[in-house]
Structure 1
Amino acid sequence: MRINVLQHTPNEGPGSIQQWSQEHGHEMYIYHPYQFGNLPTSDQTDMLVILGGPMSPNDDMDWIKQERVLIRQLLEDHKPIFGACYGAQQIAKTLGYAIKKAPHKEVGWAPVYLQSDVIPNIPPKLTALHWHEEMFEVPDEAELLFSSDLVKNQGFILHDNVIGLQFHFEPEADNVREIAVNDDQYPLDHNDLHQTGSEIIAHGVPAENKQVMYRLLDFIADK
């Protein structure tokens, strides 16, 4: 299977998603549309992963709009799509739903709570990395998958092949350090989780996050 990854900033890579791909014998291609403008075609894509980034789906940039053209084609083809943070927002925006400021800016580690039993063997409570101040509306045709204490719309599942998460399960310890040291001012400005970059690094990554990331990918890929 060819997994095409859309990466939107140098310090937010695929993390454990890349390990999952390697362990399953898939081929991963990582695109940087914000820098080079290149995107895969739908015919070249067996699974699409849309990572986070500092931009908003509401920004008026051609490559952001072109991403949504690709997403729509893959939705029509019923291919697996996983979106994290900005990526989840892009999926919702493609479906015609609003992206707006969240009631709270969440930067750091905080619990998320499972809201659906559609995917088996997911713990009811997990600790995830949050790095956002916008949120998506959950599409009417999708099901709410996760919520947090501060923001209800934290994840959705659409049919059996599309998952969008407002937070991050994919980073491992090195990835968290990379995110925090390169974007160290972001947690300091009106952060409702009240965590600094140093505190975020020191927290460590819960071992179960990788396991759950694998389960989510297995679920949408097994079609």
Structure 2
Amino acid sequence: MTQRERFSEAEVLILTHVPYCSPGHLETVLCREGVSFREVRVDLGELAHVDLRKPKAVAIMGGPMSVNDPLPWLADEVEAIRFWIAQGTPLIGHCLGGQLIARALGATVQRMPHTEIGWQKVTRHDEGEDSPWLAHLGEEFVVYQWHSDTFAIPHGAVPLMGSAHCANQAFAYGEHVLALQGHPEMTEALVRRWTTSWAELIDPSQPSQQSIERQLMGLSEKVAALHHVAEGFYQRWLTLALAPKSLA
């Protein structure tokens, strides 16, 4: 039986928080693989109507809010993430999503000295040398970034990679959880939308931020390389969703 056939009736959840932080390339991968999925707008209260026992895998996307904001739905989302972690449900978090996973695991999330924006080189940590999440990648690669907060590494998690401006770019927790600080889901359209809609937030005089011109230069090639990074994460996440709970 193919992956497409096994996923024909399975449910994958994608948690989103605003319209402009969409699943991006993740949606492309799921459609290509024939994986049925449901997008849930957590900020609109849709998580309350989800049976947390049903998803085979959950992806958590980004958003402009902070984990530390006093929003009741954020607390509900953290509790749902704790349930899925306990259940062994494969989880992958993007930016805010990664920070929510960190909070669910008891780690702090705090403001950085400078916002990190643009195409940033990340480097594999020694602890992540043998991580299956990074098996498709070299020692250094580039991930698109746009964040002002950063997570600490939770107790029991394995730090995977960091950048010059953000030491904690990713961690794995157990076999089934990957938390990312960056945005591997980006598409050309999303990069153009963000740099247009939020141009006033970009300060290229800061070493942690790139100008719009630098971000858009060679955009097709940059996005293609990013999709290689993303697809290794997504394929492992989907493989875990199909595997017995005890299988790494």
Same fold (TM over 0.5): yes
User: Structure 1 stretches of 5 or more lacking a match?
Assistant: none
Task: Give the C-alpha shift of residue 18 in structure 1.
Answer: 0.7
Q: What does residue 40 of structure 2 align with?
A: 31
Question: Secondary structure of 1:10's partner?
Answer: coil
Aligned length: 222
Counterparts of 2:12 and 2:103 in 1: how far apart (Å)?
Answer: 22
What TM-score, normalized by structure 1, do the two folds share?
A: 0.93
* Cα distance, 1:206 vs structure 2: 3.9
Tell me which of 21, 46, 55 is aligned to 2:30: 21
The amino acid that maps onto 1:167 is: G
Distance in 1, matches of 2:34 and 2:55, equals 16
Percent identity over the alignment is 25
After superposition, where does 1:1-223 map in structure 2 within 5 Å? 1-34=10-43, 36-39=44-47, 40-115=50-125, 116=128, 117-119=130-132, 120-188=135-203, 191-204=206-219, 205-223=222-240
Taking the aligned partners of 1:188 and 1:41, their CA distance within structure 2 comes to 43
If the length of structure 2 is used for normalisation, what is the TM-score? 0.84
Q: Greater shift after overlay, 177-186 or 195-204?
A: 195-204
The CA deviation at 1:194 is 3.7
> C-alpha separation between the residues in 1 aligned to 2:90 and 2:170?
16
SS of equivalent to 1:111: strand
Shift of 1:26: 0.9
Query: Which residue does 2:244 correspond to in 1?
Result: none
Asked if the contact 1:103/1:150 (under 8 Å) is kept, the reply is no
Q: Matched residue of 2:120: which SS?
A: strand
Q: Deviations over 1:112-138 (max 9, x none)?
A: 112213122212211111101110001
Deviation at 1:75, TM superposition (A): 0.4
Q: Point out the structure with max Rg over C-alpha.
A: 2
Gaps of at least 5 residues in structure 2 are 1-9, 241-248
Task: Using the TM superposition, name which of 132-141 and 202-211 deviates more.
Answer: 202-211
